[in-house]
Structure 1
Amino acid sequence: MQEIKSYIQGEWRSGEGVETELFNAITGEKIGGVSSKGFDFNEILKYGRTTGGEKLRKMTFHERGRMLKALALYLLDNKKKYYKISAWTGATKGDSWVDIEGGIGNLFANASLRRQFPDLPYYVDGDAAPLSKKGTFIGHHIMVPKEGVAVHINAFNFPIWGMLEKIAVNLMAGVPAVVKPSSVTSYLTQAMVEDIIASKILPEGSLQLILGSARELINHVTSSDVVSFTGSASTGLKLKSNPVITENNVPFNLEADSLNAIVLGKKATPDTAEFKIFVKEVVREMTTKAGQKCTAIRRAFVPEELMDAAQAAISERLSTTIIGDPSAEGVRMGALASADQVKEVREKVEELSKSQKIVYGDMDEFDVTGAEKHVGAFFPPILFRNDAPFEQIDVHSIEAFGPVSTLMPYKTIEEAIELTKMGQGSLVSSIVTPDNDEATQYVLGAASMNGRILVLNEECARESTGHGSPLPLLTHGGPGRAGGGEEMGGKRGIMHYLQRTAIQGHPTTITAITQVYQQGAQGNITDEHPFKKYFEELNVGDQLITEAREITADDIDQFAALSGDNFYAHKRDTNFEGTMFDEQVAHGYFLMSATAGLFVDSYDMNPVLLNYGIDNLRFTKPVYAGAKMHVRFTCKEIIPNDVTEKEDDPKTKIKRGIVKWFVEMLDEDAEEPLVGFATILTMVKKKDQN
């Protein structure tokens, strides 16, 4: 039998003999075998930390982001191959789309996050903390890549998405990965990794693939590594409690299968669009990937008076589901991943049958199109009904990981929340309701035991990604039974692979370390106006001290007339007794406008293309007529900007970057001169337009 090879330590390697045979879930034919016997797991992890880690850590977030984008485009060009192999796992074309293109979408989404990070190998987190009276001692936080390996032990149900949604995050953070997929569908993961390695887009050592048993892999991780596991709660708990994990405080992210729920709101009666949306969502989550999803709906709660209507509607829709070979005309649901999965799901259904009743489906009597029922790993949709969910409670602890769900009644939204929580922690729950008050009550009541909550109604259903779709910019995980972990989550996910460290020192020193200007740092005052410098010529700390301008009562009057802002504090004839002001005060926005007049060099064309915003604008004390104000204008941060060129629009082809400027408004006669500050964002042209 052909052994499907692993990719470790820079080469494709076979284990010693075949440990696990792999089969086509539709035809039952042998595909090959996998083995990790004889692998030196300690050396595999060392190779990742050194060869891959050292290269990734030297790259900036922007370089890593562009790397992920290039990889995503490359894999899209090769996607036809993956669809063909994905069908062997029992997946329909729609199932494969979620796995393949959904996984590649994670690469794109994480690549786009580079714009929220500096063009540095590390991240500056939050704002500086003042630690002294005179401002000569401050604190800050930086986050650097962990100097270990991301070890991913993945489930069988999403062999591509499960890998890409995790490695996209750790690669963006600058940490290499060792991926250990479930053996059952690992041949699909291997096909994609083969292309990834061939592309040479990732630095060598960034990605290794182990097929077969994980064996003693966990025994060799260190405190610098991060372990992620997706699968059953029992296996996850066993790995998480490994002495190596606990004694070395190794970060461990657990995403376990959970008893996710959906609630039909009290006002979503059969005559509403929301009732139909509920039925469609339940059936879709039962049949997509043949119910083999960690986010699938296992428990469906409906108002007790709507039980019969909901059962009839769900059963009718399930009756149109054609099971069989995904390549056959009309097939809407494929097979389970393996014969072992069929056996396991059957056992769980039989166990659940002791406390509740099957109202749709028969495990023995069902039709299969384009394949032989007992040769492939086929299993029919099963809908249970449980009229006493507070007494017959097996449904809240036993999960059949297939096309199986249970319909249950509730009396009040409070009761629906209580029933949802009886699942002991879920990755996701949904409520379908046209009533926002009902939705609010459910979300606030159920959030503590759910990692994600979807609120569905007619207004958002058309564009909603659905109950079972975790999204890369939102966290994916849940409390309790669901594992207590968080995956993805945009910047939050990337930070899981970064070490946060507090730093303390003088503002000038902290500026040098963070490459972000800190208030109070020494500026670089030059003869040339900063606005005359091209993007490449600017440095953090470049500074301009402007001349002073006297603020007059006429200025304030004219700005009030021009803007229409005649707030009482800006009028000369106001009686200021009992107010916060002594006399007529200048408008804050006038001060900002006057500030721009002081720092903008308007006489010649310069590399500044445009000003596109102001962040953190604050006015710290009132400014009265007679004050002499000048500006300290400092280059705060320099950020590359990818140019998206549009055909026939030469303006979009101008190469440029983003520059943030820290603006301090100063009353030079005051004991405490700072009267306001802001961060100005400009787009600055690059000198090199090639």
Structure 2
Amino acid sequence: GERLAKVPLGDPADENVRMGPLASRDQREEVRARILDLTTDAEIVAGDPARPQLVSGDAEAGAFLNPVLLYCDSPDAARSVHDVEAFGPVSTVMPYDTAEEAVDLVRRGRGSLVTSVFTNDPDIARELVIGMAPFHGRVMIGNRLSAKSSTGHGSPLPGLVHGGPGRAGGGEELGGMRGVRHYMQRTAVQGAPGLVAAVTGRWMEGAPARSGGEHPFRKSLAELRVGDQIVTETRTVTLEDIEHFAEFTGDTFYAHMDEETARANPFFDGRVAHGYLVVSLAAGLFVDPAPGPVLANYGVDGMRFLTPVYPGDTLQVRLTCKEISPRINSDYGEVRWDCRVTNQTGATVAQYDVLTMVAKTGSGEE
């Protein structure tokens, strides 16, 4: 009660104020009425909803309400504390003996947008979060490590996607760019790959591609087009390649080094090439080594190894310009390349996107 009484309530323009008014005086009267309902099962132990104490502002003209804390000694026999929501600075403390009882109390509240669990015990955290999750859109776990930096469960992170059931309305919190998209028209586009690629500016499997002629890595952003493609020469993987890669990198996983144990693996028919060896050999096939518009490789996305590569298999790469994203106020932009590595039967052994930085113009271009 002493700590709550020290929360400065008043005019938000006052730098000393930490809590402002509710949205309207009608809302304040609604909250006061709900507090009265709660007192059928609980007692007010801190705060007087009828007489707000201010450090600035007009108590009658503004919709001010001090924090109000209630205590319900017998929550199992109570109803109002579970059924009534006072949408304001109002909380009710309810005792429990076990984590199971805490989950039951939460469930009786019929859902909420967010709840907090404060514990440093991982087992308790698991039991409480799993028990409470079906009734909440978000659960914030607080412990002794996060206590000093946490903003509390009232401040969701922008990337979170969630919406609680019950009284929370089943909606989503509007954080970050996701919040902006709720106010934008979004249209699904359905059609043949070539037409969808033309509309979206992003190449997809089945859309037309252009191969032959100049290597795409020799093209600046001014010359490069979505759908530009190269189909490389081939490279046969040898047992010596696999053993050299294992020795050079230190990756001596048994599937690469031991024929008998590799055959016992349900996924392989013998010793296999390292996935990263396949990716390295693929780069050796599609990269144009001379200096040019391609400035750097800064990563790969969505890498998947789909078919094992054995000694004697022959690899080939199809590299396609998938998306071009020029940077504003910069001399370069990002290019996303669709990379598909196949073997001698045409089976895809690896699939991923290569990400590169490419100059907007080449030498001599305006």
Match of 1:420 in 2: 106
Answer yes or no: is 1:394 the counterpart of 2:60.
no
Confirm or deny: 8 A CA contact 1:358 1:384 kept in the other structure: yes
1:588, 1:442 → 2: CA distance?
41
Q: What's the counterpart of residue 678 of structure 1?
A: 352
Residue identity matched to 1:634: T
Identify the residue that residue 157 of structure 1 maps to in structure 2: none
1:512–1:384 Cα change, 3 Å: same
Note closer, same or farther for the CA distance 1:345–1:641 as it changes in structure 2 (3 Å cut).
Answer: same
Query: Gapped runs of 5+ residues in structure 1?
Result: 1-314, 644-653
Is the 2:307–2:347 contact (alpha carbons within 8 Å) kept by the matching residues of 1? Answer: no
Contact 1:473 1:488 in 2 (8 A): no
Q: Does 1:665 find its partner at 2:341?
A: yes
Q: Structure 1 residue 492: deviation in Å?
A: 5.6
Q: Partners of 2:340 and 2:15 in 1: how far apart? A: 69
In 2, Cα distance between equivalents of 1:460 and 1:556: 46
- Where do 5+ consecutive residues of structure 2 fail to align? none
Q: Which residue of 579, 588, 593 corresponds with 2:280? A: 593
For the 8 Å contact 1:658–1:683, the answer to whether it is kept is yes
Q: For 1:554 and 1:468, how far apart are their aligned partners in 2?
A: 59
Note the C-alpha offset of 1:348.
Answer: 2.5
Give the conservation status (yes or no) of the 8 Å contact 2:32–2:49. yes
Supply the AA of the counterpart residue of 2:4: L
- Cα gap change, 1:458 to 1:545, in 2 (>3 Å): same
Q: What's the secondary structure of 1:524's corresponding residue?
A: coil
In angstroms, what is the RMSD of aligned CA positions? 3.1
Give, in angstroms, the shift of residue 495 of structure 1: 6.2
Contact 2:10 2:17 in 1 (8 A): yes
Once the two structures are superposed, the pairs formed by residues 234-249 of structure 1 within 5 Å of their partners are: none
Kept after mapping to 2: 8 A contact 1:568/1:574: no
Which amino acid letter does the alignment assign opposite residue 656 of structure 1?
Y
2:224 pairs with one of 538, 557, 572: 538
Change (3 A) 1:377 1:493: closer
Aligned 1:41-60 pairs, distance under 5 A: none
1:384-463 equivalent positions in 2, closer than 5 A: 384-463=70-149
| Cα pair distance change 1:666/1:376, threshold 3 Å | closer
SS in 2 for 1:347: helix
Residue equivalent to 2:233: 547
User: CA 1:662–1:577 in 2, change beyond 3 Å: closer, same or farther?
Assistant: closer
* Structure 1 position 317, deviation (Å): 0.7
Contact 1:386 1:408 in 2 (8 A): yes
Q: In structure 2, the residue corresponding to 1:527 is in which secondary structure?
A: coil
Residue 576 of structure 1: how far off its partner (Å): 6.4
Tell me by how many angstroms 1:675 deviates.
3.0
In structure 1, C-alpha distance between the alignment counterparts of 2:175 and 2:118, rounded to whole Å: 24
Shift of 1:372: 4.8
Q: Secondary structure at the match of 1:590?
A: helix
Specify the alignment match of 1:620 in structure 2: 306
Question: What amino acid is the match of 1:589?
Answer: Y
What letter matches 2:286 in structure 1?
F
Following superposition, the deviation at residue 531 of structure 1 comes to 0.5
- What letter is aligned with 1:341? Q
Structure with more contact order per residue of length (Cα contacts < 8 Å, sep ≥ 6): 1
Counterpart CA distance in 2 for 1:495 and 1:371 is: 38
Cα distance in 1 between the residues matched to 2:177 and 2:11: 40
Change (3 A) 1:343 1:550: closer
Provide the identity percentage: 46
Q: For the residues of structure 1 that align with 2:262 and 2:35, how far apart are their CA atoms?
A: 78
Q: TM-score if structure 1 supplies the norm length? A: 0.48
Residue 524 (structure 1) aligned with residue 210 (structure 2): yes
Q: Indicate conservation of the 8 Å contact 2:263/2:270, yes or no.
A: no
Give, in whole Å, the separation in 2 of the partners of 1:576 and 1:384: 66
Query: Residues 210 and 227 of structure 2 are in contact (CA less than 8 Å); yes or no, is this contact kept in structure 1?
Result: yes
Q: Does the Cα contact within 8 Å between 2:52 and 2:64 map onto a contact in 1?
A: no
Q: Deviations over 1:561-594 (max 9, x none)?
A: 2122233443487586645555543333222211
Kindly indicate which of the two structures has a greater share of residues assigned to helix: 1
CA shift, 1:499, in A, is 5.2
1:454 deviation in Å? Answer: 1.1
Question: How far is 1:387 from its partner?
Answer: 0.7
Instruction: Give the Å deviation of 1:329.
Output: 7.4
- 8 Å contact 2:254–2:261 — kept in the other structure? no
Structure 1 residues 66-465: aligned runs within 5 Å: 315-326=1-12, 330-364=16-50, 367-465=53-151
| 1:598 counterpart letter in structure 2 | L
SS in 2 for 1:439: helix
Residue 328 (structure 1) shift: 5.6
Q: Counterparts of 1:673 and 1:352 in 2: how far apart (Å)?
A: 67
Tell me how far apart the structure 1 counterparts of residues 261 and 30 of structure 2 sit (CA, whole Å).
82
Quote how far apart the aligned CAs of 1:627 are. 3.5
Q: Please say if residues 335 and 379 of structure 1, whose CA atoms lie closer than 8 Å, have aligned partners that are also in contact.
A: yes
CA distance in 2, matches of 1:455, 1:474: 15
Query: Do the aligned partners of residues 584 and 389 (structure 1) sit closer, same or farther apart at CA in structure 2, a change above 3 Å counting?
Result: closer
1:548 alignment partner, SS class: strand
Deviation of 1:327 after TM superposition, in Å, equals: 5.4
Q: C-alpha offsets along residues 350-379 of structure 1, whole Å, 9 cap, x if unaligned?
A: 332233211122345564334454454433
Task: Tell me by how many angstroms 1:381 deviates.
Answer: 2.8
Q: Per-residue deviation at 1:605?
A: 1.1
Q: 1:335 to 1:672 in 2, by over 3 A?
A: closer
**More displaced 10-residue stretch of structure 1: 343-352 or 509-518:** 509-518
1:635 aligns with 2:309: no
What amino acid maps onto 1:467 in structure 2? Answer: H
- The alignment's TM-score, normalised by the length of structure 2, stands at 0.85
Q: What residue in structure 2 maps to residue 273 of structure 1? A: none
Change in CA separation of 1:568 and 1:441 when aligned onto 2, cut-off 3 Å: closer
Give the letter for the 1:543 counterpart: Q
Displacement of 1:478 in angstroms is 2.0
